[in-house]
């Protein structure tokens, strides 16, 4: 009796199993790498050359974000303050503190303080800080409650889904322009937030892009 199936079909089941195992392994590895907090940097908190305490400077001393991040409302990028900005106060306050030696050295030499970057926008993503700041998106929405952090860490995933949540429903996130850097600002109720947010969306003609080309240019 002639064989119905060719000889190579004898190894087909094992080949199929190997292919399935490789496919499942690739999918699991991809999800583990690209869709977990480790990849999204949530919780990332590097050691900085100077332990700058935001909770002290912002909450206790009342410093506004724009005092240090001076161009965030006018530029695509949020600038890190120069040593001269720090020395406006620290030439008089704790001027001899050994913890501030890197700041004094930077101020005297002109070399920037080697801060470790925490928040990174991928090369394939376009993000403009000033556009968001000037349409009522507060620092806390993307960076978390920075004013309560002793040392800044990566608090939000900043994934595409995270951004689209706001782009699809901006009324849930925007606030009065003069409250953008007030990190303790809260609406009195959810109803007020939606009412005011909807009004701002209408009055300011807020229409965030939801197409790929809006952020991937």
| CB-CB contact of 54 with 152 (8 Å) | yes
Ligand-binding site membership of 154 (annotated): no
Q: Which two tokens stand for residue 74?
A: 């006018």
In degrees rounded to 5, what are phi and psi of residue 132?
A: -75, -45
Which pTM does this prediction carry?
A: 0.80
Q: What is the mean pLDDT of the chain?
A: 91
Residue 215 is assigned to a ligand binding site:
no
| 132 annotated to bind ligand | yes
Tokens for 92? Answer: 């008089």
- Locate 181 and state its tokens: 């850097």
* 48-95 per-position pLDDT tens digit: 999 999 999 999 999 999 999 999 999 999 999 999 999 999 999 999
- Over residues 182-214, the pLDDT tens digits come to 999 999 999 999 999 999 999 999 999 999 999
Count CA atoms within 13 Å of residue 57 on its CB side.
19
Convert the pLDDT of each residue in 142-161 to its tens digit. Answer: 999 999 999 999 999 998 99
Is 166 within any annotated ligand binding site?
Answer: no
Residue 129 labeled ligand binder? yes
What separation in angstroms does the CA of 175 have from each of 8, 70, 172?
67, 20, 9
Which band of pLDDT confidence, cut at 50, 70 and 90, is reported for residue 177?
very high
């Amino acid at each position: 009796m002639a064989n119905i199936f060719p000889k190579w079909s004898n190894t087909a089941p094992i080949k199929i199993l190997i292919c399935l195992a490789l496919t499942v392994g690739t999918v699991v590895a991809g999800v583990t790498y690209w869709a977990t907090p480790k990849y999204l940097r949530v919780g990332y908190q590097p050691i900085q050359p100077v332990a700058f305490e935001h909770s002290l400077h912002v909450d206790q001393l009342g410093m506004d974000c724009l005092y240090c991040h001076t161009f965030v409302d006018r530029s695509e990028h949020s600038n890190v303050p120069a040593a001269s900005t720090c020395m406006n106060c620290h030439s008089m306050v704790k001027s001899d503190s050994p913890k501030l030696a890197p700041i004094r050295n930077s101020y005297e030499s002109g070399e920037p303080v080697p801060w470790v970057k925490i928040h990174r926008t991928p090369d394939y993503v376009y993000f403009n800080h000033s556009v968001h700041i000037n349409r009522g998106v507060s620092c806390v929405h993307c960076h978390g409650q920075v004013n309560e952090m002793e040392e800044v860490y990566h608090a939000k995933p900043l994934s595409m889904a995270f951004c689209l949540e706001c782009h699809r429903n901006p009324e849930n996130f925007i606030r009065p322009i003069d409250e953008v850097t007030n990190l303790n600002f809260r609406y009195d109720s959810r109803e007020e937030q939606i009412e005011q947010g909807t009004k701002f969306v209408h009055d300011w003609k807020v229409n965030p892009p939801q197409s790929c080309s809006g952020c991937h240019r």
